[in-house]
Amino acid sequence: MNLLEKWRDDGLVALQGTERLRIEILEKEAPHVEASKKLGTIENVSEPMVWGVSNWDRCYFQSERSPDFRDLASILFPNIKKFDQLQISDVNDVMHLLSHVHSGKDAFITLNVKHFVNEGRRELLKSRFAINVLTDTEAVDWLIQEHALPT
């Protein structure tokens, strides 16, 4: 992420995260101490309202043209048949995607390839919802190729 962070610091890209991301990082142990220090440098974006999860004063009501929570959850977690079986971290992953769609940004950058990339998930998210999922390394390569950002 270092080059992405440098580009952000130079005003060339915007890095955003949700309240869920902040909560997840702050609840983790020592390996995420460095990540928690970076939270202040990431722009916070609104997240969708999910009963029992969202902070009501910091969320939005989903529009009808947005993907539905269940649609995205069924792609990320195809073996879960009842959505009340999702762990809170799984709910957070869906909320990250919904927030990304709502913000209208170009790419969803993740280090979580298990939930967002593997087993055709990236392709399904792209074809069904036009969500461009990239790892941090892929995002750097894409930005250099597509937008001629300096290395």
Q: How many domains does the chain have?
A: 1
Burial of 73-107, coded b for 16+ CB within 10 Å and e otherwise, reads: bbbbbeeeeeeeebeeebbbbbbbbbbbbbeebeb
Domain that holds residue 73: 2-147
pLDDT digits (tens, 9 = 90+) for 116-142: 999 999 999 999 999 999 999 999 999
> Which pLDDT score, from 0 to 100, does residue 36 have?
54
Kind of pairing between the strands at 43-45 and 133-134: unpaired
pLDDT digits (tens, 9 = 90+) for 41-59: 677 776 766 666 666 666 6
pLDDT digits (tens, 9 = 90+) for 58-74: 665 555 455 778 889 99
> Which pLDDT score, from 0 to 100, does residue 31 have?
53
> Which pLDDT score, from 0 to 100, does residue 124 have?
96
Q: Which amino acid is at 20?
A: R
